[in-house]
Amino acid sequence: MAKNKSYYEEKAKKIIEYANLLSNSFKAKEKTEEERILESLKEAHREWKDKEEYFQSVKEPELIDHAIYELEASKIKYMYLLKKMKKMNIE
């Protein structure tokens, strides 16, 4: 059974329609730079608070230096992202 030209044109239109729908769904999921920075800032804040808890819980003298290093590193990361956010005027 030979299929005519209109059959293939309809199939092509459907494929293009589905491809556009799929493309639009990916675009909707893409985050702006501001959203990524805000998300990173929230994660850095959580990390900083976790490191504070770790520092408070450390009892072994060998781990105190490690806890201080981790705490300071997470604090610096948070401050950096906060400054970056303020520089971009993100509310």
Give 88's DSSP letter: T
Residues 50 and 25 in one domain: no
Say how many domains are in the chain.
2
Q: Are 41 and 82 in contact (CB under 8 A)?
A: yes
Segment 8-33, tens digit of pLDDT: 778 788 888 888 887 776 665 667 88
Residues 23 and 44 in one domain: no
Considering the entire predicted model, what is its pTM?
0.61
With a cut of 60, say whether residue 38 has pLDDT above it: yes
The dihedral through the CA atoms of 59, 63, 64, 70 has a sign that is: negative
Residues 83 and 54 in one domain: yes
Domain that holds residue 45: 32-91
Beta-carbon contacts of 74 under 8 Å, excluding residues fewer than 6 positions away, are 44, 47, 48, 50, 51
Residues 2 and 46 in one domain: no
